[in-house]
Chains A and B, each alone.
Chain A
Amino acid sequence: MSQPLIVLRHVSKNYRTAAGDFTALADLDLHIDARAFVVVVGQSGSGKSTLLNLLAGIDRPTRGEVIVGDTAVHTLSERAMSTWRGRSVGIVFQFFQLLPTLTAAENVLLPMDFCGTWPARERWDRALELLERCGVADQAHKLPATLSGGQQQRVAVARALANAPALLLADEPTGNLDSRTSETMLELFADLVQEGQTVVMVTHERGAQRYASRTITLADGRVVASHAE
């Protein structure tokens, strides 16, 4: 049995809204193994994105512990969190979130530039390799606005992999893609897992479970089902 990469203990997340307090996650306990392809499903408001944000260090839990690898993420300062996130987590967003004034290759270079993870001379070659790996090397010098949605999302995946993170988090990565493109995107994630990457993906995509090693179903901030495929 492999060592869990992610451990959540008694994690709760409350939000204060105009309508009153809202519990997004309630006393969640979760272990996710390394090299797993975990799909998190659930209805809107079930706490999927909150879970992902806690894993990425974008949000902090109201209570409980979030441990990724050897790091107690919930204890990190804002500055340490940025550094940890840059080096340890790759994030893929639903709306791609590529910086519009940078080319595809430059978007991939950016995390390496911020985190200084690779020697400056090697970054460009790595960026091209990653774009190649994601099937968009021929788009390296184009600006995001000139790429299709699928191509942009592939570039976003390449960017997420730039610093060779232990964990790849994807928030509805196919939510803005047509079904054919969604399928190839899921295949890409599955391939990455095959190559040793851990992927946690929040999705509404029913077909995604075919590629996953484990599906977690959330409802009202709690895990209501978790089964390996």
Chain B
Amino acid sequence: MQSDGKQIRRGRALLGPRWTKVRRDVLQHKVRTVLVVLAIAIGIVGAGAVLDTWSLLRRVTRGEFASSNPASATLDTESIDPALLERIRAMPAIRDVQARRTVLGSARTASGWRTAIFFAVDDFTAIRIGIVKPESGAWPPPDGGVVVEASSVEFAGTSVGDSLSIQLRDAVQPRMLPVAGIARDVGLAPGWMEHVVYGFVTRATLAQLGAPSSLDELQIIVANRGLDREGVRRIAFDVREVIESTGREVTNVDVPVPGRHIHAGQIDSLLFTQGAFGVLALLLSGFLVVNLIAAMLAGQVREIGVMKAIGAREGQIAWMYLGLAFGLGLVACAVALPLAAFLGQQYAEFTADMLNFDIAGFRIPSQVILLQLAVGALLPVAAAAIPVTRGCRISVSEALRDFGIDHVCGSTNRRLMRYSRGLSRPMLLSLRNAFRRRQRMILTLTTLAVGGAVYLGSINLRASIRGSVDLLFESMRFDMVLRFDRSWPADSLEAAIAAVPGVAQVEAWGGTQAAFAGPDSMLGNTFPLSAPPAASRLFVPSLRKGRGLEPGDGNTLVVNRRLLADEPRLALGSEVMLLINGQTARWRVVGVVDTGPSPAAYTWRETLAKVTGDNRMDRAVVESTVGGAASQLELVQRLRTELESQGFAIQTSQLMEQSRRVMEDHLLMVAGFLGVMSQLMIVVGGLGLASTMSLSVLERTREIGVLRAIGASHRAILTMIQFEGLVVAIASWILALPLSIPMSVVLGKAFGRIMLPVPVILVPEPSGVLRWLAVALVVSIAACAWPALRATRITTAAALAYE
């Protein structure tokens, strides 16, 4: 026995009696402690997963993108030869130069013919700019084979060893090419998102396919990596002059933002928004710590007095409770950090895929894990600081005179009585109990209500996204766009298409690339200029500013908001010089419209024909008489067959419904992550309610005993506790409604800025209010189940003996 005693002695002496007390106090209230740990853990999971994702993506996008050595600028020209490359390489401002050919065509996928872009270089093993990383199969691409870019493999429905049917723009017949391998080019916008099949082929393969194989795209790297976009543009235009001095024409100069992936800003903003909600969930879980510690202190006032009486200083007692909060935080971290890392990894993989990056081999930085550990462990300490400071300040004499729970405040009581006439006595008691601990009630209410507001905000956001996508596509009153392998007179093209059964209306459109020509002969990036016929019935843009195109307008154009954001010099009313098909002409911007997700400008096809001197069209938009994707795909196939038999070869086709769905699904998927955050917050709120109700039952043990003694049944006690929870749930439901309005506006604005070319307009979703009520009620019933059950288990004798 003595040896047993010594073992206990040593073990406990190590911990010290005050920490033994803390440990046992916690173990005495396991359920409540577990609820608080869970709430903190959920907060850490929410915030941590987003932080992990962000840190991983930052590493991947920065590291991978930089290591791909992206081009500072790309110039489109013709017949690039080694002599020209040497001449440009010799320019002092140029560090490196490389030539390739980009060929447009079609590839046959599971859902029909799709746009395909093929890249060819002299030697794939010597690519220095825009380095391509082989992933599987062969690399470099063999003659007669194709290596498919990783982001379009799924979209193309192909894999290594399959064959891909390919039709190049200038080729006569489609050809089957074996898929020799898969490689990734992180500089490309993802193929699955763009609906494009990217492939790498040799120049010999291009020749076999009947396409020109000379190199026509010049990629340069500037010597000074610190230059901004304008600085790089100046150098690119110096290069342009050199090229043009050799008699070649430069049709396009594209200068991306230096060192920054095209989607990096969007992803940063998106993760920032989601991270903000994660942090909010974490802060709300801090409220639970406040409640737990405050309740613990309230229940231990006398013990605090005794500890002070036997020599404990205020600081020593405070550290005991802060240590407890720290311990809870550490336990929550132990649960949450691995889960956050797992979810962060999954989300990072999804987002990286969206950006065309491969996350394999990248790990979450250790400092990010340490940061989460520090926040997870210290946030509960910070949350507990106020109740601990307040609780430990009590004097010994006050503490020893403590009588426990306060009575309900007189004025509150009177108000409650006034507004709750008609309720039974037990219900009145529940109502009064709900407001007995006002601070605790406010924190619990706030936690649930904020969760509800974000929940409603995310529901409204989904409705708003649909509304905004509607707005983007409402100008396009056609079902499909057909692009032909060459241009045709508008009348003959329209007549041929209109004759195909299933076509309701058709318009042949002109289209080309335009670039802003500055006064110093510098060009801006190119943008598409579409040209519907005057008084088009299939193109009715939503006008935002200025006026629409009018018959008889001269060189006028309307621009959409996405283009205006990219090229602010095209502001309403401005007179600008545009380079179109090698001709520079003056144009006037007369209106700003909302059309589709991509940058675009519009003029009448008659106007464009005058400027270019060519009145033939290479595209047509079609309104069909059939609805549904399957029927429309069938119509596309019919159009292909019938038009090709008349010599009009369709190169690519695009269904508007499909484009719209892809965009909407993509946006809703991202909005869905915000929804997950709101659900996490509601769970935290539910845990808060469960914890509050469990405290409430504990504190009223004696009162419940008295009720039992005077005849209250199990059912009456159960109903009272559940009703008390419902009071809180309904109050948070009501509070969340006004809170959700600014929340929805903020979410919509943030989301619109990040993901959409048009501002998201708040569309309140009325069903959301009822859904939130249902969620609040379910949360309340679930949260109160355990405390209510515990209340029924309290025996009268035990309750009356409770101190």
Which residues of A does B touch, CB under 8 Å?
A: 53, 56, 58-59, 78-79, 82-83, 85-87, 90-91, 93, 97, 99-102, 106-107, 109-111, 113-115, 120-121, 123-124, 140-141, 159-160, 162-163
The 4 A-B pairs of least Cβ separation, nearest first, read: A86-B311, A101-B24, A114-B312, A111-B310
B 523-548 to A, binary, CB cutoff 8 A, 1 in contact else 0: 00000000000000000000000000
Chain A residues near B28: list those with CB within 8 A: 101
CB distance from A137 to the nearest CB of B (A): 10
Are B310 and A114 touching (Cβ within 8 A)? yes
Cβ A78 vs Cβ B314 within 8 A = yes
Q: Report the separation of the CA atoms of residues A156 and B112 in the bound assembly, to the nearest whole angstrom.
A: 88
**Complex-state Cα separation, A123 to B14, whole angstroms:** 11
Which chain B residue lies CB-closest to A123? B13
Contacts of A83 in B (CB 8 A): 311, 313
- Pick from B25, B309, B314, B400: contact of A85, CB below 8 A: B309
Kindly state the separation between the CA atoms of A83 and B302 in the bound complex, as whole angstroms. 19
Selected from B13, B307, B395, the residue in CB contact (under 8 A) with A110 is B307
| A110 engages B313 (CB within 8 Å) | no
- Kindly count the residue-residue contacts between A and B in the assembled complex, taking CB atoms under 8 Å apart: 87
- How far apart are the CA atoms of A11 and B396 in the complex, in Å? 20
Residue contact B18 to A91, C-beta cutoff 8 Å: no
Contacts known (A79-B313, A113-B18, A114-B18); A106 close to B308, Cβ less than 8 A: no
**In the complex, chain B residues 33-86 whose Cβ is within 8 Å of any chain A Cβ:** none
Q: Is the interface of B mostly helix, strand, loop or mixed?
A: helix
The answer to whether B24 and A82 have CB atoms under 8 Å apart is: no
| Smallest CB separation, B763 vs chain A (Å) | 55
- Whether A86 pairs with B310 at a CB distance below 8 angstroms is yes
Task: Closest A residue to B8 by CB, please name it.
Answer: A141
Which of the residues B8, B9, B21, B310 comes within 8 Å of A91, measured between beta carbons?
Answer: B310
Cα of A45 to Cα of B306 in the assembled complex, Å? 23
Residues of A within 8 A of B25 (CB): 101
Verify if B610 is at the interface (C-beta below 8 Å from A).
no
Q: Is the CB of A124 within 8 A of B303?
A: no
Q: A53-B397, A82-B314, A99-B303 are in contact. Are A106 and B17 (CB under 8 A)?
A: yes
Distance from A210 Cβ to chain B, minimum over Cβ atoms (Å): 28
Contact in complex: B17, A101 (CB < 8 Å): no
Is B310 within 8 A of A110, CB to CB? Answer: yes
CB distance from A45 to the nearest CB of B (A): 15
Say yes or no: A97 contacts B311, CB within 8 Å. no
User: How many Å from the CB of A103 to the closest CB on chain B?
Assistant: 8
Least distance between B15 CB and chain A CB atoms (Å): 10
List 18 A-B pairs, Cβ < 8 Å. A56-B309, A58-B309, A79-B314, A83-B311, A85-B311, A86-B312, A93-B400, A97-B309, A99-B303, A101-B20, A101-B28, A106-B21, A107-B17, A109-B17, A114-B313, A114-B316, A121-B13, A124-B13
- B5, B8, B20, B28, most chain A CB atoms within 10 A: B20
* In contact, B302 and A113 (Cβ under 8 angstroms): no
Chain A hits for B310, CB < 8 A: 85-86, 90-91, 110-111, 114, 159-160, 162
Cβ 8 A contact of A114, one of B8, B303, B307: B307
Report B-chain residues with C-beta under 8 Å of the C-beta of A123.
Answer: 13
Contacts of A93 in B (CB 8 A): 306, 400
Task: Tell me the complex Cα distance, A59–B309, Å.
Answer: 11
Nearest opposing residue in chain A for B316, CB measure: A114
Residue with the highest number of chain A CB atoms closer than 10 Å, among B303, B311, B313:
B311
- Name B18's closest neighbour in chain A (CB-CB): A113
* Chain A min CB distance to B797 (Å): 15
Please name all residues of chain B whose beta carbon is closer than 8 Å to the beta carbon of A97 when the two chains form the complex. Answer: 302, 306, 309, 400
Q: Could you tell me if A124 and B9 are in contact, using CB atoms closer than 8 angstroms?
A: yes
CB distance from B515 to the nearest CB of A (A): 76
Let me know if B16 is at the binding interface, CB within 8 A.
yes
Q: Does B12 contact A (CB under 8 A)?
A: yes
Q: Which residue of A lies closest to B310 (CB)?
A: A111
A83-B396 Cα distance, complex, nearest whole Å: 13
Bound together, the chains give a CA A209 to CA B134 distance in angstroms of: 99
Which residues of chain A have C-beta atoms less than 8 A from B400's C-beta? 58, 93, 97
Question: Which residue numbers of B lie inside 8 Å of A, CB to CB?
Answer: 5, 8-9, 12-13, 16-18, 20-21, 24-25, 28, 302-303, 306-316, 395-397, 400
**Smallest CB-CB separation from B15: which chain A residue?**
A106
Chief secondary structure at chain A's binding surface: helix
Q: Closest residue of chain A to B317, judged by CB?
A: A114
Query: Chain A's nearest CB lies how many Å from the CB of B802?
Result: 12
Closest A residue by C-beta to B305: A97
Q: A59 and B302: CB pair below 8 A?
A: no
A127 to B20, CA, bound (A): 16
Per the bound structure, the CA–CA distance linking A83 and B308 in Å amounts to: 9
A79 contacts which chain B residues (CB < 8 A)? 313-315
Distance of A141 Cα from B12 Cα, bound (Å): 11
B306–A99 CB distance below 8 A? yes
A82-B314, A114-B310, A114-B313 given; 5 more Cβ-contact pairs under 8 Å: A97-B400, A110-B307, A111-B310, A141-B5, A159-B310
Which chain B positions have C-beta within 8 A of A163? Answer: 311
Closest chain A residue to B28, Cβ basis: A101
Specify which chain A residues have a CB less than 8 angstroms from the CB of B21 in the assembled complex.
99, 101-102, 106, 110
Whether A106 contacts B12 in the complex (CB less than 8 A), given A79-B314, A99-B303, comes out as yes
CB distance from B390 to the nearest CB of A (A): 15
Closest B-chain residue to A87, C-beta based?
B311
Contact assessment for B16 and A113 in the assembled complex, using a CB-CB cutoff below 8 Å: yes
Question: Which residue of chain B has the shortest Cβ distance to A57 in the bound complex?
Answer: B396
Chain B residue numbers with a CB within 8 Å of A53 are 397
In the complex, the answer to whether A110 meets B396 with C-beta atoms within 8 Å is no
Q: Which of chain A's residues have a CB closer than 8 A to the CB of B313?
A: 79, 82-83, 114
CA distance A5 to B644 in the complex (A): 117
Q: Which residue of A is nearest B306, CB measured?
A: A97
Task: Identify which of A79, A101, A123 gathers the most chain B CB atoms within 10 Å of its CB.
Answer: A101
Identify the interface centre among A79, A87, A124: most chain B CB within 10 Å of its CB. A124
Most B Cβ at <10 Å: residue of A59, A91, A97, A114: A114
Measured CA separation A107–B24 after assembly (Å)? 13
Closest Cβ of chain B to A4, distance in Å, is 24
Within the complex, the shortest CB–CB distance from B501 to chain A, in Å, comes to 85
Docked CA distance A58–B28 (Å): 30
Contact residues in B for A160 (Cβ distance below 8 Å): 310
Q: B18: which A residues are within 8 A, CB to CB?
A: 110, 113-114
The answer for the CA separation of A85 and B9 in the assembled complex, in Å, is 27
Name which of B17, B25, B303, B313 has the most chain A CB atoms within 10 A of its CB: B17
In whole angstroms, what is the CA distance A165 to B306 when docked? 16
- The residue of chain B having its C-beta at the shortest distance from the C-beta of A90 within the complex is B310
B396 adjacent to A115 (CB under 8 Å): no
- Provide the residues of chain B in CB contact with A162, threshold 8 Å: 310
Kindly list chain B residues whose C-beta atoms are within 8 Å of the C-beta of A90: 310
Chain A positions within 8 Å of B16 at CB level:
113
Q: Shortest CB–CB separation between residue A28 and chain B, in angstroms? A: 18
- The answer to whether residues A102 and B20 also contact, given A120-B13, A141-B5 and a CB cut-off of 8 A, is yes
Determine the distance from Cα of A110 to Cα of B303 in the docked complex, in whole angstroms: 12
CA distance A106 to B395 in the complex (A): 24
Identify which of B307, B316, B397 contacts A58 (C-beta below 8 A).
B397
- A86 contact set on B, CB distance < 8 A: 310-312
Residues of B within 8 A of A85 (CB): 308-311
Contacts of A102 in B (CB 8 A): 17, 20-21, 24
A82's nearest neighbour on chain B, judged by CB, is: B313
Contact B12 A115 (CB under 8 A): no
Taking CB atoms, residues of chain B closer than 8 Å to A82 are 308, 311-314
**Chain A residues, CB < 8 A from B303:** 99-100
B309 proximity list for chain A (CB < 8 A): 56, 58, 85, 91, 97
A64 CB to closest chain B CB (Å) equals: 18
Q: Closest CB of chain B to A14's CB: distance in Å?
A: 14
CB-nearest residue of chain B relative to A115? B311
Give A87 to B25 CA distance when docked, in angstroms. Answer: 26
The docked-state distance in angstroms from the alpha carbon of A168 to that of B164 is 96
Inter-chain CA distance A122–B24, complex, in Å, is: 24
Q: Are B302 and A110 in contact (CB under 8 A)?
A: no
CB distance from B128 to the nearest CB of A (A): 68
Report the separation of the CA atoms of residues A79 and B315 in the bound assembly, to the nearest whole angstrom. Answer: 9
